[in-house]
Chains A and B, each alone.
Chain A
Amino acid sequence: MPVLMPVVLAGLLFCIGVYGVLARRNAILVLMSVELMLNAVNINLVAFDVWLRDELLAGQVLTLFVITIAAAEVGIGLAVVLLVFRNRATSQLDELTELSEDREPLLHDHPPNFGADHAVAVAGEEGAPEPRGTS
């Protein structure tokens, strides 16, 4: 069998996984795409192990390790997704924008003075910040 057959198959599966990670909105579908990418890497590991006739079977043993770690990753990932769903009632990734910088302020949050805030923090070295009219 040509080495190219498993290598090309692995490359195609990996790129499909990349597309899925980038183009899906749902967190669980993104996890499925990550599984596709891990499988592509596993195909490469097994193919090169068989091709090079490794004495220690390093490729196949590493494949078993990757499968185990993938199972652990799915378990933890799904627990995180469930926790997010329990708190936010959504599993769509683009609605989780809490950590982005230029978001709309929450209702009980401090007023929107993002631009001036940093300047005040820097200017606060010399003296107390002056009260601003807008905030």
Chain B
Amino acid sequence: MSLVELLFGLLGVVAVGSALLVVTTRQMVHAALWLVVCLGSVAGCYLLLSAEFVALVQVLIYVGAVVVLLLFGLMLTRAPIGVSTDLDAPRGQRLVAAVVALGLAGVILVTSVDAFRGERIDLGDDRVGGSTAAAGEAIFRGWVLPFEVLSVLLLAALVGAIVLSRRDIGPDLERMTTRRDPPGAPPRDRLDSDR
């Protein structure tokens, strides 16, 4: 077992352990911080797979932006700081979820072991495939049209988030969430009301 495989195994154990803590911890802020550990070790896995540009983007966007966004969300929904007991579903639903997850894990592991046993990734020293120069060349030569479409998508998501978040623009929520019918009037959305 080479050094790369050893490091990959260690990072994988860290990633799986911190992911388990993300889905089982009873403190919401701790879940976000364990998510940082998990995403950071996944970035390390990308580095070991010689995809350095993807690793840097992972650290920048996931650890830098997404987790901060999630922490903002926790803050704005007044998430309880400290141990809270109402983060998990009831015991029966958790049991079903565990059964589903374990069954899915069994299917995925059996099929992938059956399919990829004995295959090896050649991480030679001559590889330049994941370097920033190669990734930039691939994006701006072969994939430039999806890249531009993606920028439009990001702009649309940005505008949508702003429209959803601001109070003074967007749909009239007062009118949408409260019915204006007087008490004796027939309901509006019945099938037989417009016959």
**CB contact under 8 A between A28 and B77, given known A1-B4, A83-B164, A121-B191:** yes
Interface residues of chain A: helix, strand, loop or mixed (majority): helix
> How many chain B residues have a CB neighbour from A under 8 Å?
97
**Cβ contact within 8 Å between A19 and B97:** yes
**Cβ contact within 8 Å between A68 and B61:** yes
Identify which of B73, B113, B121 contacts A47 (C-beta below 8 A): B121
B107-120 interface code vs A (CB 8 A; 1 in, 0 out) = 01100110011111
* Total A-B Cβ pairs within 8 A: 272
**CB contact under 8 A between A13 and B117, given known A19-B101, A32-B31, A46-B46:** no
Chain A positions within 8 Å of B83 at CB level: none
Chain A positions within 8 Å of B122 at CB level: 53
Is A101 engaged at the interface, CB distance under 8 Å to the other chain? no
State the Cβ distance, B170 to closest chain A Cβ, in Å. 9
Chain A positions within 8 Å of B153 at CB level: 68-69, 72
Residue among A28, A82, A129 having the largest count of chain B Cβ atoms under 10 Å:
A28
Q: Which residues of A contact B (CB under 8 A)?
A: 1-9, 11-20, 22-26, 28-29, 31-33, 35-36, 39, 42-43, 46-47, 49-51, 53-54, 56-57, 60-61, 63-65, 67-76, 78-83, 85, 87, 91-92, 94, 108-110, 117, 120-121, 124, 129
A-B contact pairs, 25 of them (CB 8 A): A1-B121, A2-B5, A4-B112, A11-B108, A12-B19, A13-B16, A16-B16, A16-B19, A16-B22, A22-B89, A22-B101, A28-B73, A36-B19, A46-B49, A50-B121, A51-B121, A57-B138, A60-B130, A67-B54, A82-B165, A83-B165, A91-B77, A109-B179, A117-B191, A124-B195
Q: Which residues of B contact A (CB under 8 A)?
A: 2, 4-5, 8-9, 12, 15-16, 19-20, 22-23, 28, 31-32, 35, 38-39, 42, 45-46, 48-51, 53-54, 57-58, 61-62, 65-66, 69-70, 72-74, 76-79, 86-89, 93-94, 96-98, 100-102, 104-105, 108-109, 112-113, 116-123, 127, 129-130, 134-135, 138-139, 142-143, 146, 150, 153-154, 157-158, 160-161, 164-165, 173, 177, 179, 181, 183, 187, 190-192, 195
